[in-house]
Amino acid sequence: MFEIAFDPASGRIGRLVWSAVSRGNSGERLLIRTTVDFEETRLGEDLGGELFEFVPPRNVSLVDALPIPGQTGSFLQGQTAPDFELRTLSGEKVRLGDLRGRPVLLNFWASWCGPCRKELPVLSLLHLDYEARGLIILGVNDEGRNTASQAARQMKLPFETLGDGARKAHKLYRVQAIPSIFLIDRDGRVVRYLRGAQSEQALRAALRELGL
């Protein structure tokens, strides 16, 4: 959510406030609010294109991902995915370990999460494109089954969502913010952790690491 305060006479912005909802370590909802005050605003000046041009130093290189030790989720990259057993929203048991031999995309989401709702249609498209190649997409939701089922029906999700009301999987994967995606290869190893809503292009690039 954004709030903007401006001078009605000049139209200049004086303050910008945006808010986001996240999750704490024990599952509590956290409201994060950021405020930016503009002390000086200049209009109509020619800034030149070089101001917005990024020139990296000569001794650096571009990488697709940079796991940070201790960062939520990144500790699992290169490790065997923690096993768990949960039920789908329709009540069927699913054990992650039983899916060995097929690549898996785990997506942690919730109905109240705006970025999740933005990303889920992209995952629905990828499900249709990659299912025949063996990819299994599983949503993981820690809300009540009725709430999660209603949201899944509303968004017409073509893949299964697992109910995690006790936050078993959330704790195993140390999920503190959503959406969070874990890509698991055919050998059951986590090859990529993605935090925040991802674009279709970014997800397709990540899936190539699974050989898809």
Classify residue 124 by burial, with Cβ atoms within 10 Å: 0-12, 13-18, 19+.
middle
Question: How far, in Å, CA of 82 to CA of 169, rounded?
Answer: 8
Question: How far, in Å, CA of 201 to CA of 16, rounded?
Answer: 30
**Which residues does the chain have with pLDDT short of 70?**
23-28, 63-74
Torsion of CA 178, 154, 205, 101, to 10 degrees: 90
13-23 and 2-6 beta bridge pairing: antiparallel
At 204 the pLDDT is 94
> How many alpha carbons lie under 13 Å from residue 148 in its C-beta half-sphere?
21
| pLDDT tens by residue, 7-60 | 888 778 888 888 877 765 555 677 888 999 988 877 777 877 777 788 888 888
> How many alpha carbons lie under 13 Å from residue 196 in its C-beta half-sphere?
3
What is the chain's alpha carbon radius of gyration, rounded to the nearest angstrom? 21
φ, ψ of residue 151 to 5 degrees: the values are -65, -40
Residue ranges, comma separated, of all CATH 3.40.30.10 domains in the chain are: 74-210
CATH number for the domain running over 74-210: 3.40.30.10
At 45 the pLDDT is 78
Whole-structure pTM over 0.85, yes or no?
A: no
Question: How far, in Å, CA of 14 to CA of 93, rounded?
Answer: 54
